[in-house]
Structure 1
Amino acid sequence: MKLHGVDYTSAPSRRKGITIASGELHGDVLILESLTSLPDHAAFDAWLRQPGPWLGAFDFPFSLPRELVEHLQWPTEWAPLMRHVTSLTRPEMRETFKAFCDARPVGGKFAHRATDFPAGSSPSMKWVNPPVAYMLHAGVPQLLAAGVTIYQLHPGDPDRIAFEGYPGMVARDITRASYKNDLRSKQTPARREARERIVGMLEAGQHRWDVKLDAGDFREALVDDGSGDLLDAALCAVLAAWAWQRREARYGMPEFDALEGWIVGA
């Protein structure tokens, strides 16, 4: 089984692409075999269509909070909800979510999915810092068009299985220190040191998910990349490996709301 971790961006470019870490699991060791950066959505669409079997953890939200959906009186089944959301323009979606937040008290502006709390993830309706709602808006249609299985949310090719992942959840289990920044001026020695620590602990399997990472010739790249994109992809690949180990037990996933979805490993 090929295992992939995908660090997604809703606006890929040659400077900052959609980054993919790929490997295979041998025992409890994930052997990293490639790091790939895709410069545009067309390249990602083609990548999604590569034959299986493969399993991937994708760093973007696959759904929205039920509280938000019911308040807006949007469809409460996943596939119709996604069709509705992606029929909106980004400005329409942003203004709808902003109006929802503006009507709520300080400290409770955003609605959350149940998975956000154990994962420590941002609300999937956020349109800034980080703009994960835009990532959902761009990414979910690509998964659907490629015909992959979106676990427990949408049936597709059983040999190509997509899970929602969140690299920050794994990174924070190792260190609370900031380890990345897209601005070169903020790619400091302290952040490099944090990446070094994360990679070292991944190699030792000293984190909650226990999978060991054999980064091989890619180790230096994971540490040197100040944006953290390569490391985030590898962190997602670790979650994919953890899920594959538990494939006979719902991939380690609890029972969850099939409208909201769940972050693998949370």
Structure 2
Amino acid sequence: MKLYGIDFTSAPRRAKPITVAAGCLVDNRLLVEQLERLTDWSAFETFLRRPGPWLGGFDFPFGLPREAVIDLGWPSESWAAMVAHCHALGKTAFRATLDAYRQSRPFGRRYAHRATDIAARSHSPLKLVNPPVGLMFLEGAPRLLAAGVHLPGLHTGDVTRVALEAYPGLLARRLGASSYKNDTRRLQNHARQQARCEIVTRLQQGSPFTPFRLHGTQEVLTELIRDASGDALDAVLALVQAAQAWRSGPPSFGLPATFDPLEGWIIGAEHGA
């Protein structure tokens, strides 16, 4: 089984591409075979249509909080209908609608969250800046739908191409990581480089959260530490989460038996947390 970990951006370009870590599981070893950079939407859409079998962990929210969807009167009968509606709105209207919705809510509760966001301590997908995960949803989810991939629990598609929501930050915290990345050059310091080195070492050694050991060429492993943005390492952390899901097996790939089919669920987030 080909496995992928995808560090996503809502505006791919040469300076900030979508980073893909490709690998496979061999016994108790996770082999990282390649790091790819996708610099535009065409490249990402082509990637999604690669023939299977493959399973990918994608670092962006697949769904929206049901509370917000209901409040806004958006389609709630299915994930596909909700995603199609958001796509039809376009970025300007989507942003304006979420800005107005946020202002309509009580101070301290401006952002509605999904159940999985609470469990994984991830940002609300209604957030549009720092980081713009709402825009990541708007750019990512419609492309998953258009590509016909299979999203367990959300949307039935080509079962040889499986997409699951990953969150590298969840695994990094479980590995005891301190701050390890920053896109701002002046904040890319030795302490963060050392933190990346420690994460890579822990992945190579294995842990209760990663029941297999990371292997790769020296070139790939060096890149995980060298890339101060953390994009390469985040792609590999998402790859690890994808491998964990694959090890759990179909049809649910380790996701909870039930979760909200509008909201989605992050690999490894504890149900009921």
TM-score, length-normalised on structure 2? 0.94
- Tell me the residue number matched to 2:50: 50
Give the aligned residue type for 1:230: A
CA contact (8 A) 2:175 2:199 kept: yes
Instruction: Identify the range of structure 1 (213-222 vs 31-40) with the bigger mean alpha-carbon deviation.
Output: 213-222
CA distance in 1, matches of 2:212, 2:251: 17
CA contact (8 A) 2:152 2:251 kept: no
Counterpart mapping for 1:36-47 below 5 A: 36-47=36-47
CA contact (8 A) 1:4 1:54 kept: yes
- Tell me the residue number matched to 1:167: 168
Per-residue CA shift, 1:117-136, capped at 9, x if unaligned? 12111001111111011111
Counterpart mapping for 1:90-239 below 5 A: 90-217=91-218, 218-239=220-241
SS for the counterpart of 1:80 is: helix
CA distance in 2, matches of 1:97, 1:46: 30
Q: Give the C-alpha shift of residue 215 in structure 1.
A: 2.8
CA contact (8 A) 1:61 1:124 kept: yes
- Tell me the residue number matched to 2:21: 21
Per-residue CA shift, 1:169-225, capped at 9, x if unaligned? 111112352111111211100100110111111111125243321133211100110
Give the aligned residue type for 1:238: V
SS for the counterpart of 1:213 is: strand
SS for the counterpart of 2:197 is: helix
Give the aligned residue type for 1:226: A
Q: Give the C-alpha shift of residue 94 in structure 1.
A: 1.5
Q: Give the C-alpha shift of residue 156 in structure 1.
A: 1.3
SS for the counterpart of 1:75 is: coil
CA distance in 1, matches of 2:35, 2:48: 15
CA contact (8 A) 2:5 2:20 kept: yes
TM-score, length-normalised on structure 1? 0.97
SS for the counterpart of 1:46 is: helix
Instruction: Identify the range of structure 1 (169-178 vs 185-194) with the bigger mean alpha-carbon deviation.
Output: 169-178
CA contact (8 A) 2:68 2:112 kept: yes
- Tell me the residue number matched to 1:250: 252
CA distance in 2, matches of 1:176, 1:244: 24
Residue 262 of structure 2 corresponds to residue 259 of structure 1: yes
Alignment coverage as a number of residue pairs: 266
Gaps of 5+ in 2: none
Give the aligned residue type for 2:192: R
Q: Give the C-alpha shift of residue 157 in structure 1.
A: 1.1
SS for the counterpart of 1:98 is: helix
What is the RMSD computed on CA atoms of the aligned residues? 1.2
CA distance in 2, matches of 1:142, 1:160: 14
Give the aligned residue type for 1:128: V
CA distance in 1, matches of 2:90, 2:58: 23
Per-residue CA shift, 1:28-61, capped at 9, x if unaligned? 2210000000110101111111111000000011
Residue 63 of structure 2 corresponds to residue 60 of structure 1: no
Q: Give the C-alpha shift of residue 80 in structure 1.
A: 0.7
SS for the counterpart of 1:89 is: helix
SS for the counterpart of 2:55 is: strand
CA distance in 2, matches of 1:72, 1:28: 47
CA contact (8 A) 2:153 2:259 kept: no
CA contact (8 A) 2:21 2:232 kept: yes
CA distance in 1, matches of 2:143, 2:57: 14
CA contact (8 A) 1:174 1:207 kept: no
Q: Percentage identity across aligned positions?
A: 49
Instruction: Identify the range of structure 1 (114-123 vs 211-220) with the bigger mean alpha-carbon deviation.
Output: 211-220
